[in-house]
Amino acid sequence: MSNLKEVAKKANVSITTVSRVINGSDKVNPKTSERVKKVMTMLDYQPNRVAQRLRTANGRSKLLGLIIPDIKNQFYSNIVRGIEDVAYGNDYAVILCNSDENPNKERFYLEVLKSESVDGIILPPILQFGEEIENIIKTGIPIICFDRKLGNKNVDTVVIDNEMGGYIATSHLIDKGHKQIAILTSSILFSSFSERQKGYERALKENGIEVDKRLIREGDPRSSDNAKLMTTKLINLDNPPTAIFATNNLMTLGAIEAINEQNLKIPEEISIIGFDDVSWAKAITPPLTVVKQPAYEMGLKAAELFFRKVEDKSSEPVEIVMEPSLIIRQSTASPPK
């Protein structure tokens, strides 16, 4: 791989001049610049980004760090696309890290990203990570949070209104006449799930329906098998729910599997509403009613916040709240008599 020195030699200038040409300094004679550029293409020269980064203390690495909990979750892969599209448009590459919600992995990747001196990190925070993230912020690397909020920390954030999502879903079911509505949700560690649950409970209360603890099931949101198990148990309850609200797409999948396995007809015998408008939602029979999160758009916004921060480190952190929307298909109907 050729370097500055070679180019300089071949173009009969100093390496400084070549550097100036690379960085588009205007203090270079157009003719010289022309000559240098020609040599650069001739030698197929590409500046060494590693060296560039080492030299310039807060130079741009043109690298965006992205930590996501689960690449296999369509919700996240949509977000990745949104971020990636904006990044590519800005000549940035994305270092994607799959954290699995595993604190050790997350810590490892955070270290890597820091020491790769990426220009910023986009991630969905976990509660336990106040400290690590605090440290990153101290180093001056911009942090953008998405999907979940980082407690009271003062960082750029894009979330959807999860409480509203839960409320919309539950209200829809109530409107259809359901009173026994189960929810498949996750531990309170993830703010997004607890907020969906909050919305669920508010909808029930506002409609004079008592919150029934038996119908609230918490499990690993990354495991459809777990959701399947929970659903099977729900179905076999003495006084089973007539509708199920699954708070993410993997749980929805598990719920549907369980319902099919128990030979219950959707929506005649049981209604189901999912979270996330996944690709297969409208292909299944009956098509799935869902609360749609604008995942791709969320990725877009997060990336935009990232570049805003990169441009101007002193910009005030903002919190963007996006609206979920209800997409009514045929998996929800009135409860059986």
Per CB under 8 A, residues contacting a copy of itself are 1, 44, 46-51, 53-54, 62-63, 71-72, 74, 77-78, 80-81, 84, 88, 91, 93-98, 105, 108-109, 111-117, 135, 139, 224, 250, 253, 256-257, 260, 278-280, 282-285
Helix H segments across the chain? Answer: 4-11, 15-22, 30-42, 49-55, 74-89, 103-115, 130-139, 162-175, 191-206, 224-235, 249-261, 295-311
The Cα–Cα gap between 17 and 12 comes to 10
Nearer to DNA (CB atom), residue 50 or residue 318: 50
Strand, helix or coil for residue 243: strand
The Cα–Cα gap between 241 and 180 comes to 5
Among a copy of itself, DNA, none, the one that 32 touches (CB under a kind-dependent 5 to 8 A) is DNA
Nearer to DNA (CB atom), residue 114 or residue 214: 114
Q: Whole-number minimum distance, CB 22 to DNA, in Å?
A: 5
95 closest CA partner among 62, 73, 125, 127: 62
Q: Whole-number minimum distance, CB 129 to DNA, in Å?
A: 24
Q: Whole-number minimum distance, CB 283 to a copy of itself, in Å?
A: 5
Q: Whole-number minimum distance, CB 50 to DNA, in Å?
A: 7
Phi-psi region of 140 (alpha: psi -120 to 50; beta: other; left: phi over 0): left
Nearer to a copy of itself (CB atom), residue 54 or residue 328: 54
Among a copy of itself, DNA, none, the one that 332 touches (CB under a kind-dependent 5 to 8 A) is none
Nearer to DNA (CB atom), residue 11 or residue 173: 11
Among a copy of itself, DNA, none, the one that 222 touches (CB under a kind-dependent 5 to 8 A) is none
Q: Between 103-115 and 130-139, two packed helices, what is the crossing angle to 10 degrees?
A: 0
The Cα–Cα gap between 267 and 269 comes to 6
Which amino acid, 122?
I
Nearer to DNA (CB atom), residue 17 or residue 157: 17
